[in-house]
A and B are shown apart, each in its own frame.
Chain A
Amino acid sequence: MTASVLDRPAAPPNGGPAARRAVIRWAWRLLRREWRQQLLVLALITVAVAATVLGAGVATNAPPPAGAGFGTADHLVTLPDRADVAAIAQRFSPVDVIENQPLPTGLAGSAQLRAQDPGGAYGRPMLALVSGRYPSGPAEAAMTAQLAAALGLRVGDIWPGPAGTRRVVGVVENPQNLLDEFALVAPGQLAHPGEVSVLFDAGAADTAGFTFPPGAVPLTPTPPPGVSPEFIVLALAVVGLIFIGLVATAGFTVLAQRRLRALGMLSALGATDRHIRLVMRTNGTLVGGLGALAGAVIGVAAWTVYAPRYSVSVNHRVSWTSLPWWLVTAAMVLAVATATLAARRPARTIARVPVVSALSGRPAPVKATHRSIRLPLALLIAGPVMLFFSGGWGSRSTTQQLLQLGGLAASAAGLMYIAPVVVGMLGAIAGWAPFTSRVALRDLARYRSRSGPALAASSFAVLIAVLVALISTGRFTDSVDYVGPNLPHDQLIVYAPGDDPADHGPSPATPQANTDPKAAAAAIADALGSNDVLALDSVRGGLAQCRGGAQEICGSNGKLYVATPELLSHYGIGPNDIASGTQLLTSRPHLTGLSGLKLVGFALDQFGNGIDNPRIQTTDRLPTGTSQPNLLVTQQAVDALKLEVTSAAAWLIQLPQPLTATQINSARQIAVRSGLTIETSSQQPSLDEVRNYATATGVLLALGVLAMTVGLIRSETAGDLRILAATGARRRTRRTLTAVTAGALGTLAAILGTAVAYLATVAFFRSQLSERMSQPPWLDLLLVVVGLPVAATLGGWLFAAGEPATMAHAPIE
């Protein structure tokens, strides 16, 4: 034996892959045995990944598909007839020609008679067969399901349509625009098409060098503006996983403690520290992997079920495969990485426990480590300082945005670092407390390796909830730049061509027709069964708030509605109700108290003359809680600024009841055919909805983390409880212990999270404090600061009723 045995060359020093396989196998077996103890972490990871997958599907498929109206082509030109098609085809061959002819149906919402080649070079994404087959001859047609239903036709029926009698041979749709109602005939079957769309691929130089017919402008697909939705979803997923990582750290720490004796035995058998760490790290990876896999499967399954319904909501066909798979993969990888990283610290800690202590099931005596408060304090000071200098609301430079991100990150990191320090202080202040509370508080301090991360995670949940409540309050109470619900559910606005503030432009596939906008608006009102139509006059102008020489243009996207006598009368405002000299009428609160306001008129996006500090009159007769119209410019200001008034730029239609999806569809069809656009309720949540949802989510998450931690700490101290029971402690003592443990953690989480959120928000809004924070979300703050501790305490009291299973037996083996 002996030296020769120790130096046996065949075996690697640490056992090599064989040892790692054995350790990993054991970790897997332990996970199978103890998965219930890791259910919370597993569930959180699963939910996070599933939500990311579902969110990614919703976010990326919300806008129309890239190149909607273009098929696979990169150019589209719309012609009034076929005259110039041959020339374009000769220059840009191959081309795909789609001919349209208005199809009178006698029903609300017009349709098209369309001649399109289903196998065309570019138009295939805009045509799909739902059932039956495509028409192939002069006596056949296919049509969209809604049109067929409107005409009372089914596949196989005879349709005596305007293009002759035809047999309906199939049901079709435009997957890129489900509102596109049409009857399809074979190519060349339209005698006199009213509109010809030509799709083709071409370089910029090619189109520039070609002379298109007058009025025919080649269009190209425009990429969606702003930050990509995938990036936003990924950023949210990362924030969520940071929170889960904190929870997982606490959970894995407890798990490591539970496995202490077994790990000690493994060490006694000759496992190295690396092997011991590997057991815990493998557990983390497996939990992350299982959670990621389950989350992805659930997310994809949910998306598969939801995608068809979502297609109806977004008016274009959405396939279950229309997911950003790279994002799904990234979310899964991040989930695995989060759980693996969360297991690192407990793994290191447990590997350092002396073997003899581990075998006896006793963690090494806690060394009186001094947790410096300097680092967390420095972070908690640095964060708000960065936010202070980040320019506040509306800052847009890269440096300012980096300062905002850095400030938030530093604040969150400071919160996480200060949590264990605060928990440690509990032990010091426990001396004054009654006996049971003293025991509970000292247990929290003793087990700070579990309670510290748990407090950090709970505080983080509170921080996010309070931040959302505060910042959304600041944003929603911005009197200059209104945000919130755009319209009630029983109203609809029709915009004249070119006057849609969203400025989406006409759909390439259905170019605007030469219809009288006023007549079209009336037709929409008729179709909706309303005779309450209010014409809105607008001017190009806006309300700016000038700060430090810079001008921030806000208000109605550069469009203000004019306080015409008709509009004022509609809202019950008489001429005598408006003070002399008033230049702006508004229902927005706080607007009159703002300084630095300037009413400007502009043309071609250039500033024109302005009126500094315009005279503003607030009236509660104008609508509140909606965007339109809550800010009106008076005739006096129009005259003073010599603003050009666009008469009847929009029509506000009031319905007796909320709009139905069918009514919206009908209105949209009429609007599209007329070159108009409509706006209905965007379902944007109100301030109360945002705050309440954020608060409820934050409190529930915090309570979930607290429940897990408190349960584990109390089960670990079951031995102490046995001693207490032996010395005469009653059931009430057990309840009090758990209630105080939960209540203390809940209180600290509520205070820490709220304090850091307030610190960050105050620093961020700085000079705008009086305006942005003028309506603090008292109810939500009350729910967090009082509700969370109370709920935690009550929950602890109620759920401590049963005697833990570990009371009678040691928790291991």
Chain B
Amino acid sequence: MIALELRAVSKHYGDDRNRVDALVEVDLTVEPGALVAVMGPSGSGKSTLLTIAGSLEDPTTGEVLVAGEPLSAMSRDAKARLRRRSIGYVFQDYNLLPGLTAVENVAMPLELDGRSARTARTAGMEALETLGLTERAEHFPDQLSGGERQRVSIARAIVGERRLLLADEPSGALDSVNGEAVMRLILAACRQGVAAVFVTHDAQLASWADRVVFIRDGRVVDQTTPAAGVESLLQSSPHRGPDR
């Protein structure tokens, strides 16, 4: 079954006179285990694509299916349930919950889904162990380094039975060493069958992906595999730049 499918998704902001087309008729399919990179210039709609794919925002038109389930048919609570169970998010600025330790942050989606605190904590510890953060499990976010926070964030995104990981510039705030480490973790998750879509402006990181999708002015202008020449495509892109 396809992990994520966008069918002619469009998103407009503003009213008729001040309309901004963030996405225009975007089609995208992501199979389980696939790692897809989304690249494009600033304001091209990359982040919007991710938030719509993750049910954080509704498209103006079109349809989004997660594991075959159309989001348009879901209530707000059903979408929340989908995020708890199937979708993991990784943000550039980590967005760990203040006041909760690393393991509590990781366990939170499971607890929200009704798992007991002990079960959720066990699962959280396992996820942290996978990422080599066992010793930092009881530390609060402000006691962790940037790289550690992002690894906790990834652990939180893949804990449980998540099958879709959405990452918005996951290494944007990290140095190259930590950035590559993060990509390695995401890739490892994909090897376990998790479908992942990540936004990046770093061509080197994009080369880790199975497929690179280029967006400009809200439209998918190209899709390719790194082997087909990501670098050459980047060279030809007139709006190359960081997406901040």
Which residues on A are within 8 Å of B, measured CB to CB? 1-3, 5-6, 8, 10-16, 18-19, 21-23, 26, 29-30, 32-33, 261-262, 265-273, 275, 354-356, 359, 812-813
Is B112 interfacial (CB-CB < 8 Å)? yes
Q: Which residues does chain B contribute within 8 Å of A272, judged by CB atoms?
A: 76-77, 80-81
Bound together, the chains give a CA A15 to CA B77 distance in angstroms of 11
Question: Are B85 and A8 neighbours in the complex by a CB distance under 8 Å?
Answer: yes
Of B67, B89, B97, B156, which one neighbours A5 at CB under 8 angstroms? B67
Say yes or no: A26-B99 contact (C-beta < 8 A), given A6-B86, A19-B114, A268-B83: yes
Question: Are B109 and A3 neighbours in the complex by a CB distance under 8 Å?
Answer: no
Chain B positions 10-59 with a Cβ under 8 Å from a chain A Cβ: 32, 51, 54, 56-57
CB distance from B140 to the nearest CB of A (A): 9
A sample of 18 cross-chain residue pairs with beta-carbon separation below 8 angstroms, ordered by A number, consists of A1-B1, A3-B68, A6-B69, A8-B85, A12-B114, A15-B84, A16-B114, A19-B112, A22-B120, A26-B97, A26-B100, A261-B95, A267-B80, A268-B83, A270-B113, A273-B76, A355-B51, A356-B51
Say yes or no: A270-B109 contact (C-beta < 8 A), given A1-B163, A262-B97, A359-B91: yes
CB distance from B57 to the nearest CB of A (A): 5
Chain B positions 60-92 with a Cβ under 8 Å from a chain A Cβ: 67-69, 76-78, 80-86, 89, 91
CB distance from A451 to the nearest CB of B (A): 27
Q: Which residues does chain B contribute within 8 Å of A13, judged by CB atoms?
A: 77, 81
Bound together, the chains give a CA A266 to CA B95 distance in angstroms of 9
Of A2, A12, A32, A265, which one neighbours B97 at CB under 8 angstroms? A265
Q: Which residues does chain A contribute within 8 Å of B83, judged by CB atoms?
A: 268-270
Say yes or no: A359-B95 contact (C-beta < 8 A), given A22-B108, A22-B111: yes
Is B98 interfacial (CB-CB < 8 Å)? yes
Question: Are B114 and A2 neighbours in the complex by a CB distance under 8 Å?
Answer: no
Of A3, A21, A30, A261, which one neighbours B99 at CB under 8 angstroms? A30
Give the number of residue pairs across the A-B interface with Cβ within 8 Å: 130
Question: Are A355 and B81 neighbours in the complex by a CB distance under 8 Å?
Answer: no
Question: Are B67 and A11 neighbours in the complex by a CB distance under 8 Å?
Answer: no
Bound together, the chains give a CA A271 to CA B54 distance in angstroms of 14
Bound together, the chains give a CA A356 to CA B56 distance in angstroms of 6
Bound together, the chains give a CA A41 to CA B120 distance in angstroms of 35
Which chain B residue shows the least CB distance to A358?
B56
Q: Which residues does chain A contribute within 8 Å of B89, judged by CB atoms?
A: 268-269
Which chain A residue shows the least CB distance to B116?
A18
Say yes or no: A270-B112 contact (C-beta < 8 A), given A32-B99, A265-B97, A354-B57: yes
Bound together, the chains give a CA A29 to CA B96 distance in angstroms of 14
Bound together, the chains give a CA A6 to CA B51 distance in angstroms of 20
Q: Which residues does chain B contribute within 8 Å of A2, judged by CB atoms?
A: 1, 67-69, 86, 163
CB distance from B30 to the nearest CB of A (A): 13
Which chain A residue shows the least CB distance to B160?
A5
Chain B positions 165-215 with a Cβ under 8 Å from a chain A Cβ: none
Is B138 interfacial (CB-CB < 8 Å)? no
Of B3, B78, B99, which one neighbours A33 at CB under 8 angstroms? B99
Of B57, B108, B115, which one neighbours A355 at CB under 8 angstroms? B57
Of B100, B111, B113, which one neighbours A21 at CB under 8 angstroms? B111
CB distance from A809 to the nearest CB of B (A): 13
Bound together, the chains give a CA A30 to CA B97 distance in angstroms of 10
Is B144 interfacial (CB-CB < 8 Å)? no
CB distance from B81 to the nearest CB of A (A): 6
Besides A5-B161, A6-B67, 15 other A-B contacts (C-beta < 8 A) = A5-B163, A6-B86, A8-B85, A11-B114, A15-B114, A19-B111, A19-B113, A261-B95, A268-B89, A269-B108, A270-B109, A272-B80, A273-B77, A273-B80, A275-B112
Say yes or no: A22-B57 contact (C-beta < 8 A), given A269-B83, A356-B51: no
Q: Which residues does chain A contribute within 8 Å of B156, judged by CB atoms?
A: 269
Is B233 interfacial (CB-CB < 8 Å)? no
Is B221 interfacial (CB-CB < 8 Å)? no
CB distance from A561 to the nearest CB of B (A): 72
Say yes or no: A33-B109 contact (C-beta < 8 A), given A3-B67, A269-B156: no
Which chain A residue shows the least CB distance to B114?
A11
Q: Which residues does chain B contribute within 8 Å of A355, judged by CB atoms?
A: 51, 56-57
Bound together, the chains give a CA A33 to CA B91 distance in angstroms of 23
CB distance from B23 to the nearest CB of A (A): 13
Bound together, the chains give a CA A30 to CA B142 distance in angstroms of 14
- The 9 A-B pairs with the shortest beta carbon distances in the complex, nearest first, are A270-B84, A29-B99, A2-B67, A22-B111, A11-B114, A270-B83, A1-B163, A265-B95, A355-B56
Bound together, the chains give a CA A2 to CA B4 distance in angstroms of 11
Q: Which residues does chain B contribute within 8 Å of A3, judged by CB atoms?
A: 67-69
Bound together, the chains give a CA A22 to CA B84 distance in angstroms of 14
Question: Are B77 and A6 neighbours in the complex by a CB distance under 8 Å?
Answer: no
Bound together, the chains give a CA A272 to CA B74 distance in angstroms of 13
Q: Which residues does chain A contribute within 8 Å of B57, judged by CB atoms?
A: 354-356
Interface centre among B57, B69, B77, B99, by most A CB within 10 Å? B99
Question: Are B111 and A15 neighbours in the complex by a CB distance under 8 Å?
Answer: yes
Q: Which residues does chain A contribute within 8 Å of B99, judged by CB atoms?
A: 26, 29-30, 32-33
Question: Are A1 and B98 neighbours in the complex by a CB distance under 8 Å?
Answer: no
Bound together, the chains give a CA A11 to CA B117 distance in angstroms of 13
Q: Which residues does chain A contribute within 8 Å of B32, judged by CB atoms?
A: 1
Which chain B residue shows the least CB distance to A275?
B112
Which chain A residue shows the least CB distance to B96?
A265
CB distance from A758 to the nearest CB of B (A): 46
Q: Which residues does chain A contribute within 8 Å of B109, judged by CB atoms?
A: 269-270
Bound together, the chains give a CA A394 to CA B236 distance in angstroms of 90
Which chain A residue shows the least CB distance to B87?
A270
Bound together, the chains give a CA A354 to CA B79 distance in angstroms of 13
CB distance from B117 to the nearest CB of A (A): 7
Say yes or no: A271-B80 contact (C-beta < 8 A), given A266-B97, A359-B91: yes
Which chain B residue shows the least CB distance to A267?
B80
Bound together, the chains give a CA A765 to CA B78 distance in angstroms of 60
Bound together, the chains give a CA A371 to CA B95 distance in angstroms of 36
Which chain A residue shows the least CB distance to B101?
A29
Bound together, the chains give a CA A269 to CA B77 distance in angstroms of 12
Interface flags, B111-151, vs A, CB<8A=1, else 0: 11111110010000000000000000000011000000000
Of B77, B91, B98, which one neighbours A14 at CB under 8 angstroms? B77
CB distance from B20 to the nearest CB of A (A): 14
Of A23, A262, A268, which one neighbours B98 at CB under 8 angstroms? A262
CB distance from A646 to the nearest CB of B (A): 77
Of A5, A14, A268, which one neighbours B56 at CB under 8 angstroms? A268
Q: Which residues does chain B contribute within 8 Å of A1, judged by CB atoms?
A: 1, 3, 32, 67, 86, 161, 163
Bound together, the chains give a CA A740 to CA B77 distance in angstroms of 44
Bound together, the chains give a CA A355 to CA B48 distance in angstroms of 12
Q: Which residues does chain A contribute within 8 Å of B82, judged by CB atoms?
A: 6, 270
Bound together, the chains give a CA A10 to CA B80 distance in angstroms of 17
CB distance from A46 to the nearest CB of B (A): 23
Bound together, the chains give a CA A275 to CA B81 distance in angstroms of 12
Say yes or no: A30-B117 contact (C-beta < 8 A), given A1-B1, A1-B163, A2-B67: no
Bound together, the chains give a CA A7 to CA B91 distance in angstroms of 27
CB distance from B228 to the nearest CB of A (A): 30
Question: Are A270 and B80 neighbours in the complex by a CB distance under 8 Å?
Answer: yes
Question: Are B111 and A18 neighbours in the complex by a CB distance under 8 Å?
Answer: yes
CB distance from B129 to the nearest CB of A (A): 21
Bound together, the chains give a CA A270 to CA B156 distance in angstroms of 12
Bound together, the chains give a CA A408 to CA B87 distance in angstroms of 54
